[in-house]
Structures are given as C-alpha cells and as structure tokens.
Amino acid sequence: MEKHFLEGKMEGKPEFRAEPWYNPYGDCIEYQVADEAFVAERIDELLTIYRSAIDNRPVGFQIKGVQAIIRRFGWDGLVVASEAGAGQVRSISIVALLLAAYEEGPKTLGRRRAYAAVMESPPKQHTIPADELVPA
Amino acid sequence: MLEHPQRIFYGVREHNEGGWCYTARPAEWYVKENVVAAFPRNMVFAVYLNPNMRVYLCRAEYAAKDDPMCPMDWQNRYRGLVWKSTS
C-alpha cells in the first residue's frame, strides 16, 4: 500500500469518528458522517455543508464563528444541562447553534433549505461540552 | 499546497480578524481510503490558516467561474487576493 505523505509527521493511529467536534484553531464545529472526500458548499458566513465528492449527498457540516454566536445569543439560549456522574455538565446544543446561526442572516429560501437539510439529520451526539469551546 | 499555492487570500472570517486561505489544484486526491481519483475540474483545494499561521482546515471547494484557482464567490468571502502565481 502507498504510504501517506504525512505518515512520518503524524503520531498515533488515524481514526475516523462520526461525531461533531470543536476546532479551537478555527473556532468552528466540524461534523462529518462519512470518511470520504467531500466538497464544501458555503451557505453563508456561518454554515457550510459538506457534500460527498463521490455522489454529492450531504456528509457533514461546519458551523463557523462559534464564539461570535455565543456572544450574540448568550449561553442561556444555547446550553443544555445534563447530569454526569456526581456533577452537572453544561453542554451546548448543536441544533440551538444552527438556529442561532440561521437568525443571523437573511431569510432566503436557499438558506432555509440548507439549514433544514442539516437539521433533518442531526448528529447522534447532538451536544458538545461547554468547557471544550475554548479557542486556541 | 502551502509551498506552491496558486492564490493566497487575506481575511477569511467576518468575526475573526485576519486569517489566510491558500488555494491550488492537485492532480489527484484520495476520495476514500486507498482510492485515488483525478481532482475534479470544477473544484479547487483550499487550506485555511488562522491569524497565528496555524492550519485549521483544508478541503475542496467549488471553483469560481472567472478564475478556476479561486473558490466560488471569493470576491465577497475574503478581504482581498494578496498573491497570485504567474507560473
């Protein structure tokens, strides 16, 4: 098998996880359901949909400007609380973030369709712990 | 990509000052594990760096009609085109 050009520079075994995660270097939430090449379809300043490069189906999305959304809407409208072990964990709802992002832009048909498409197939893990949302 | 970009854009986010986008068109790319295909003609590959010059994103995007080395709608998405390869 051909060696990947970054093999000597990476540590650990490559692993694909179909879970949303916060990218602290880009202040964005990334979510990809399939481990395959995709093309980014920019919907607006805050949402980008990932479409499979093989068959064009939606395979993920990116929510940008997470800190700006939190500043604009506050934690109260975005956070869900859940019990975990002995304490309570504050997590941010991805669907609430998407709704907030939608409210930021013009109410066009194209945007409405794109946001609806993303929300029709939300990730199984639909929250991210608030303490992970720290930009680098 | 970063050593041989075709275009470099400045100012990639409305809510974050600065940032850079480097673009080019590779001849091939991996579409699935161990599956290599020709890079589509209507796409361009973009690598994004934050203001600290840290790579945070790389992906294919649809290419602009007026310049196939630029992402679609580049005139409105970035603050400016700061470098263009002549080779």
The full set of domain ranges for chain B reads 7-77
Q: Is residue A1 part of a domain?
A: no
> Terminus-to-terminus CA distance in chain A, angstroms?
36
Q: Is residue A105 part of a domain?
A: yes
Q: Is residue A5 part of a domain?
A: no
Q: How far apart are CA A81 and CA A127, in angstroms?
A: 10
3-state secondary structure A36-60: CCEEEEECCCCEEEEEECCCCCEEE
Query: What is the domain extent for residue A35?
Result: 16-132
Q: Is residue A81 part of a domain?
A: yes
For A44, the closest chain B residue by CA position comes to B77
How many domains does the structure of chain A reveal? 1
CB contact under 8 A, A136 and B14: no
Q: Is residue A38 part of a domain?
A: yes
Contact (Cβ atoms closer than 8 angstroms) between residue A30 and residue A62: yes
What is the tens place of the pLDDT at every residue in B15-62? 667 899 999 999 999 999 889 999 999 999 999 999 999 999 999 999
Q: Which of B2, B9, B12, B14 to mutate to test the interface with A (most CBs of A within 10 A)?
A: B14
State whether residue A25 sits within 8 Å of chain B by CB: yes
CB contact under 8 A, A42 and B77: yes
Interface predicted TM-score (ipTM): 0.90
Instruction: Label residue A83 by pLDDT band (50, 70, 90).
Output: low
What is the tens place of the pLDDT at every residue in A112-123? 999 999 998 777
